Amino acid sequence: MCGRFKMLDRDQLQLVIECLEQDLPLARDLDQLEDMPMAYPGSVVPVITPQGGHLGLQDLRWGFETDWRKGRVFNTRIETALGSNPGMWERPMAQGRCIIATPAFFEPHREKTQRGQSGRQVKAQYLFENPDVTPLLLAAVEADGCFSIVTTTPNASVAPIHDRMPFVLTQRELPLWFGPDYAMLADRSAIALTAQPEQPDALAPEQGSLF
């Protein structure tokens, strides 16, 4: 489950797009990580989407509303989306593959707890980044003004903390993600991430487990 991530501003995202389109290394301009705004399900987020042969920004709301559950469905299991019965993910996966560029995402520890801002015990939160402090590229899907982050089974970097992880892409994998052979990207075992515990005074409201 991914229910929170740091947001880059539009100028930073435009720089990411320029690097991706020109096949240049992503810039390491993340010195102000603590001051960056946070995205939660329901937030409107600038998402990188293919637009007429180029990449552009599209403001989309995080999470799909459905008539069969309360709250938004904000994660997409890759196993379901690529399975024989993708359901609501069939059209977004076929026509709406996009990416989230973020300096960091958060996952709750499956067992550890700590005291939150309210004084009660909540699950300990961990911040995940690229080891080289460049923006992470998270696979996502969009349709009808909404998007969802694609998740997969955790690799060695995430498994000690959580049982799911965002589908992190490398820069070289983007042509595959946006092309017809995106199913070839299923294995995320080679993706290395660093993890550090979030300070208790920065803890967000606990998110429920979704999809």
Where along the chain do its domains lie? 5-106+135-154+165-187
Structure-token pair, residue 208: 């429920």
pTM: 0.91
State residue 208's pLDDT score. 37
Q: Which residues contact 194 (CB under 8 A, 6 or more apart)?
A: 128, 129, 130, 131, 157
> Which residues are within 8 A (CB) of 72 and not within 5 positions of it... i.e. 6 or more apart?
41, 42, 62, 63, 64, 65, 146
Per-residue pLDDT, 2:
80
Q: What size, in residues, is the chain?
A: 211
Euclidean distance between CA atoms 77 and 151, whole angstroms: 5
b/e sequence 169-198, b meaning 16+ C-beta within 10 Å: bebebbeebeeeebeebeebeebebebeeb
Per-residue tens of pLDDT for the chain, all 211 residues:
688 999 999 999 999 999 999 999 997 755 555 678 999 999 999 999 999 889 999 999 999 999 888 889 999 999 999 999 999 999 999 999 999 999 999 999 988 888 767 778 888 899 999 999 899 999 999 999 999 999 999 999 999 999 999 999 999 999 999 999 999 998 999 999 999 998 765 555 444 333 3
Fold of 5-106+135-154+165-187: hypothetical protein yedk fold (3.90.1680)
